[in-house]
Structures are given as C-alpha cells and as structure tokens.
C-alpha cells in the first residue's frame, strides 16, 4: 500500500500503529486519544507525518502543545464506521470551536459521518479537509472521490 501510494504521489498514513507505519514504509501515523501519545509516535516516525485525534476543546488545546502535524476533530456527525467508539458528535459548532482554537497553527481534519452533501459545510465551519470512509464505499468509488475533489477544490 505504501509503495502504491508513493507511485501515485499520495500520502499513506497508518491508523493507530506507529510501529506498523515504520515497518510498512508509510509516510506517517494517525493516533487517537487511547493510542501511543503523539511524542512517542514522533520518536518512532521521525520526520514523518503524525496526526492526532481530538474530540473536545481541552483535547484540541492539549494537542496543539505537541509536535502533531495536524489535528482531527470528530465525530462531526453520526457515524457507523466506528460505532460506539466514535464518541459523542461534536457537530459543526465543534469544528468551528476547534478551528478558532487552532487558528493558523496546524491543519484541521474533520471526520465522522461526512458525506458529499455535508462536506462543504464542514469546510465552511473551519476544517482544512475532511476524512471520509463510508461515503466513499460506493460501487464506483473513483467517481465518488472525483466528486469530492470537484465539490471541495473549487
């Protein structure tokens, strides 16, 4: 996967596991609140990308004090991908709050229940980008991915 992403000019991040990211040759890792702390992941990844999940105002503030390259906020909407592990919905107001706290310091990725129809409002709320799982699992996922690029990269 890492090799294919490199060939395509894409960035490949491993979720939760910095050790797997290093062993697979990934560009980096994304860690959650219950995973390896950002600084420990950074020691393993080195100059690679380290992203951190946040769900609350206090977590956003704490993550800003780390070497994380970007922060994620969510779940923005109800999501089926993570089930009960997703935590409470933060809504667009949670995205706005996180964007205000972060300012221009680091990119903010919104995740959780985002669809093609909802994505523009998430960007308008202050997210730099969106992470999407279920809405890309369409029979023609390539067209769906292009639809996202069309809608978000105006």
What is the domain partition of the chain in residue ranges?
1-54, 70-154
- Please check the confidence at residue 10 and state whether its pLDDT lies above 80: yes
- Distance CA(28)–CA(78), nearest Å, equals 27
pLDDT tens-digit readout, 44-103 = 999 999 999 999 999 999 999 999 999 999 999 988 766 566 678 999 999 999 999 999
Q: Range with the lowest mean pLDDT among 21-25, 104-108, 136-140?
A: 136-140
Host H or E run for residue 54: strand 49-54
At the top level of CATH, the class of 70-154 is alpha beta
| pLDDT score of 69 | 97
| pLDDT score of 75 | 95
- Distance CA(51)–CA(29), nearest Å, equals 6
Structure tokens at 94: 């949670």
126 vs 137, which has greater pLDDT?
126
């Amino acid at each position: 996967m890492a090799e294919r992403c490199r060939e395509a000019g894409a960035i490949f991040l491993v979720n939760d596991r910095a050790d797997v990211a290093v062993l697979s040759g990934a560009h980096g890792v994304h860690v959650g609140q219950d995973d390896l702390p950002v600084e420990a992941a950074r020691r393993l990844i080195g100059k690679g990308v380290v992203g951190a999940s946040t769900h609350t105002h206090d977590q956003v503030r704490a993550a800003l004090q780390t070497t994380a390259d970007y922060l994620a906020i969510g779940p923005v909407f109800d999501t089926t991908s993570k089930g009960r592990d997703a935590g409470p919905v933060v809504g667009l107001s949670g995205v706005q709050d996180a964007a205000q706290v972060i300012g221009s310091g680091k990119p903010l990725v919104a995740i959780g229940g985002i669809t093609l129809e909802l994505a523009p409002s998430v960007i308008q709320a202050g997210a730099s980008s969106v992470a999407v799982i279920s809405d890309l699992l369409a029979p023609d996922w390539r067209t769906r991915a292009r639809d996202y690029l069309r809608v978000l990269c105006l």
